[in-house]
Amino acid sequence: MCGIIGIVGHSEVNQALYDGLTVLQHRGQDAAGIMTCDDDGKFFLRKDNGLVKDVFHTRHMIRLKGKMGIGHIRYPTAGCSTSAESQPFYVNSPFGIALAHNGNLTNTKVLKDELFQTDRRHLNTDSDSEVLLNVLAHELQNSSKLTPLPEDIFKAVAQVHRRCKGAYAAVAMISGVGVMAFRDPYGIRPAVIGKRETAQGTEYVVASESVAVDILDYELVRDIEPGECVFIDTKGNFYSQQCADNPIKSPCIFEYVYFARPDSMMDGISVHKSRMRMGTKLAHKIKREFPDHDIDVVIPIPDTSRSAALQLSYDLGVVYREGFIKNRYIGRTFIMPGQTMRKKSVRQKLNAIDLEFRGKNVLLVDDSIVRGTTSQQIVQMARDAGANKVYLASAAPPVRFPNVYGIDMPSANEFVAHDRSVEEISKELGVDWLVYQDLPDLVSAINKKSDVERFDTSCFDGEYITGDIDANYLYYIDAMRNDLSKQTSDKSNAVIELHNN
């Protein structure tokens, strides 16, 4: 999962890009990058592995000159995790184009062959984002103009949609021309538009989530529609066009379950309200399946489960308590590469407040359960703190299938729910009782009043909405992205970096 941002303003945008990336940090902690463009069309780039606050220092910010720019934060999915793969990426032909991408292309191998054999383009990394950039650059090169017009940009994106499969929300910058942003025809990954009026004219921002629009003091205009491309030129003129033949709004449901900040709006849906309704649905299921429950207290596993847990406790008529204190300086364990690092981070991240557990029957609430490693340790923390019984509720259904659209869920064998019944999962996690959200209830909780036609729920039901996923592809992506391959890749990268140093 990644976060993207792009701004076209009438004054320097470096600080705004930095601030926007900071509030999108939850979407990735592996690398960060900003590229700006000055009035002469010159690009300025700073990117590296690490958090936003660690990648950008005063000396870097001073060099990021210009009134338009794009930014990116990343955690690794497909490919390796070296700093060479941090974004934005850049090509000098045609025009000079930089791009940042959130998602995952599912036909990367085919596109790589096409780019070499037909388009005569060289790729320098294993990143599918570099592939997307070069496909876009090739299609823009078909324009005969020295400066592409909006119709040239829209025509190029239409060809990108025809060639590229999978999930992509992208923001790109053309030297001296402007910033463009587009989503795949299914709208799997989010992107929103904001604007504000200044004395010099209208300024625009595009970002993964509306929270970035809010904190920069822009007005949220709307979402970028699936298949749509928007373009803002250097003068602040805004253009948009639908570039896909048959767009179907099908956002990733896991955005609402876990990834997005609760104060974001995406595709017209409030993340916070969605999670509250997840809690209500879950409370109804507990009443059905455990009508004579002996739950004394509902405790959320911070942070993303709080909205659901609070509403669940209200609907269940059981007291809500904060039982875990979170270390704010430890990243999100779900998006950390490698099982060993995840295990180590859980104990560093959370600590139990004994008096909230001692002698009580506790219902822990989490947004989802993926590998189960974190859940096992948290359950043990609750028991060590003196809980009499430990129950666990998941606001999402069991994760049983790999995600291929940009979330780090590559291998079914790593899921605690893989080939296990709920009773077997309960035993594996060490809880006295386990309850999962039903998928229809999850969809209903999120899609109450929106125009979303369907959600991508593939990690729960194995139905891949792009229609191009088969067993061979799942085997391929598993081999690239499972924990064992990451550990091997990390060792190889360490050797390379040691040699280079």
Catalytic machinery residues: 2
Instruction: Please report, to the nearest 10 degrees, the dihedral formed by the alpha carbons of residues 36, 41, 42, 47 taken in order.
Output: 20
Indicate the length of the chain as a whole number.
Answer: 501
Q: Is 367 annotated as a binding residue?
A: yes
Residue position matching structure tokens 């850049």 = 90
User: How far is the C-alpha of 478 from the C-alpha of 409, rounded, in Å?
Assistant: 9
For the beta carbon of residue 452, count every other beta carbon within 10 angstroms.
Answer: 20
What single-letter amino acid sits at 294? D
Cα 123 to Cα 91, 115, 319, 435, distances in angstroms: 10, 8, 56, 47
* Dist CA 271 CA 256 (whole Å): 6
In 297-438, where does DSSP find H-type helix? 306-316, 339-349, 373-384, 422-429
Q: Would you say 366 is a known binding-site residue?
A: yes
Q: Which two tokens stand for residue 344?
A: 């180590």
Which token pair is 414?
């790593």
SS (H, E, C) 231-281: EEECCCCEEEEECCCCCCCCCECHHHHHHCCCCCEECCEEHHHHHHHHHHH
Question: CA–CA separation, 215 vs 211, rounded Å?
Answer: 6
Judge whether 490 is annotated as a binding position.
Answer: no
* Preceding omega of 185 cis (within 30 degrees of 0): no
> Would you tell me the crossing angle of helices 339-349 and 373-384 to the nearest 10 degrees?
30
Tell me how far CA of residue 19 lies from CA of 36, 48, 72, 317, 482, in angstroms.
14, 17, 12, 40, 33
Torsion of CA 103, 152, 97, 232, to 10 degrees: -80
Report the distance separating Cα 4 and Cα 158, nearest Å.
21
- Amino acid in the structure at residue 128: D
> What's the CA gap between 227 and 149, in Å, rounded?
19
Annotated binding site for Mg(2+): 304, 366-367
Annotated binding site: 304, 366-367
